[in-house]
Amino acid sequence: MATLTTDTGRAAGAPPGQGPRGRARSGGLGRFNVLGGLAGWVWLVIVVVPLYWIVITSLKERSSYYAQNPLAPPSDPTLANYRLVIESEFVRYLTNSVIVTVGSVVPAVLVSFMAAYAIIRGSAGSRFLRWTNVLFLMGLAIPLQATIIPVYLIIIRLQMYDTLLAIILPSIAFAVPLSVLVLATFIRDVPKELFESMRMDGASEWGTLWHLAFPLTRPALVTVSIYNGLSIWNGFLLPLILTQSPAQRTLPLALWTFQGEYGVNVPAVLASVVLATLPILVLYALGRRQLLSGLTLGFGK
């Protein structure tokens, strides 16, 4: 801890003679911070080692997995594990995951957007909208997985068990409360005068929704879509409980069953982990900033 205080002196003293007053740049944050720096770099190693291990092991022969040092790069890199995974119906699971994710996120964000707009614009004059808002806020506090048994019952009664729609409908419902909350905060930030001038021009609320609020809240819509998309893409509980046949399997569930079947073939199992994560990694590379804001839902701007 003592190092921290001495560092203040050192960093501030860099331009000699100016004294501590000179270097106040980024709120005293830009300066050297030993403890934080140490934690930062140690944690980097802790994050990178398992990731490195996943990749190198997935490129190893099964025999060399047992023979080689686990952290040594593969002596004889092979893509055979990836071939095995792809031949095990990987494309089908991928397609299912894409259908479920897109099929849930698009409707979820659209209905949440409409609801958020109505709540912000109409709550003052409508008790119905105020209650709707309260209901969504309560939905935030409840661990929705606790409702899985009745959801299962409803899906059976609707004859939707073991279909992708069975995953999609509850996914939309579970995404609504948080999406409405976040979108409402952003719609609230749109200047009132803009709504007024739209009204003066004779635009309907429906028109204002799409031509004013929609373009102005586009960053928030992207953020919310990414956040929901990621949690639905990685979702495990709903597919586990609401589907059964391999034909309806999504990727996380496929990983789990694959591990059950090929458990001893660790390189192949890890190749499946890499392949299942690859689409997200590609998206991450393409739009890092959007993804980041989506992940933290704007918490970390």
Partner 1 sequence: MTGLAPPAVRVRPATGSAGGRSGSIAWMALPALAIFVAFGVIPLVGVLLLSFTRWNGIGAIHPAGLDSWRTVLTDPGLPHALWVTFLVMALSWAFQTPMSLLMGVFLAGHQRYREILAIVYVVPLLLSSAALAITYKALLDPNFGLGAGLGIPLLAQDWLGRSTLALCVVVFVVSWQFIPFHALIYQGGVRQIPVTLYEAAQIDGAGRIRQFFSITLPQLKYTIITSSTLMVVGSLTFFDLIFVLTEGGPGDATRVLALDMYKRGFQANLMGPASAIAVILVLVGLALALLLRRLGGRDASASQQEGM
CB 212 within 8 A of CB 190: yes
Whether the CB-CB separation of 266 and 81 falls below 8 Å is answered with no
Name residue, tokens 């023979």.
67
x/- letters, 226..245, toward partner 1 (CB under 8 A): ----x--xxxxx--xx----
Q: Binding to partner 1 by residue 7, rule CB under 8 A?
A: yes
Tell whether residue 284 is a contact of partner 1 (CB under 8 A). yes
Considering the complex, state which of residue 94 and residue 251 has its C-beta at the smaller distance from partner 1. Answer: 251
Q: Could you give the CA distance from residue 298 to residue 293 in angstroms, rounded to a whole number?
A: 5
Q: Smallest gap, in angstroms, from Cβ of residue 165 to partner 1?
A: 12
48 interacts with partner 1 by CB under 8 A: yes
Torsion of CA 103, 106, 107, 110, to 10 degrees: 180
List the interface residues with partner 1, window 95-114 (CB under 8 A): 111-112, 114
Neighbours of 164 (CB within 10 A): 21
What residues between 111 and 170 interact with partner 1 by CB under 8 A?
111-112, 114-115, 117-119, 121-129, 132, 135-137, 139-154, 169-170
134, two tokens: 């309260």
Q: Does 91 bind partner 1 (CB under 8 A)?
A: no
Of 69 and 87, the one with the shorter C-beta distance to partner 1 is 69
Q: How far is the CB of 16 from partner 1 (least distance, A)?
A: 17
Under the binding rule (CB under 8 A), the answer on residue 14 touching partner 1 is no
CB 255 within 8 A of CB 276: yes
Within 10 angstroms of residue 38's Cβ, the number of other Cβ atoms is 11
Candidates 18, 36, 247, 261: give the one binding partner 1 (CB under 8 A). Answer: 36
Helix/strand number for the chain, H first, E second: 16, 0
Using CB under 8 A as the binding rule, the residues of this chain from 178 to 207 that contact partner 1 are 180, 185, 205
Q: Which of residues 252-281 bind partner 1 (CB under 8 A)?
A: 252-253, 255-256, 259, 266, 269-270, 273, 276-277, 280-281
Interface residue with partner 1 among 18, 63, 70, 79 (CB under 8 A) is 70
220 lines the binding site for partner 1 (CB under 8 A): no
C-alpha 136/C-alpha 133 separation (Å) is: 5
State which residue, 99 or 148, has the beta carbon closest to partner 1.
148
User: 221: part of which helix (H) or strand (E)?
Assistant: helix 218-233
210-to-110, 138, 179, 198, 244 alpha-carbon distances in Å:
11, 28, 17, 12, 40
| C-alpha pair distances (Å), 215 with each of 105, 196, 209, 267 | 18, 17, 9, 46
Nearer to partner 1, 94 or 169 (CB): 169
Give whichever of 94 and 176 is closer to partner 1, judged by the CB atom. 176
Residue 286 touching partner 1 (CB under 8 A): no
Q: From the list 15, 16, 17, 29, which residue makes contact with partner 1 (rule: CB under 8 A)? A: 29
**Token pair 């606790």 in the structure block, residue:** 146
Question: 149 or 200: whose CB is closer to partner 1?
Answer: 149
Cα–Cα distance measured from residue 156 to residue 161, given in angstroms and rounded to the nearest whole number: 5
219 near partner 1 (CB under 8 A): no
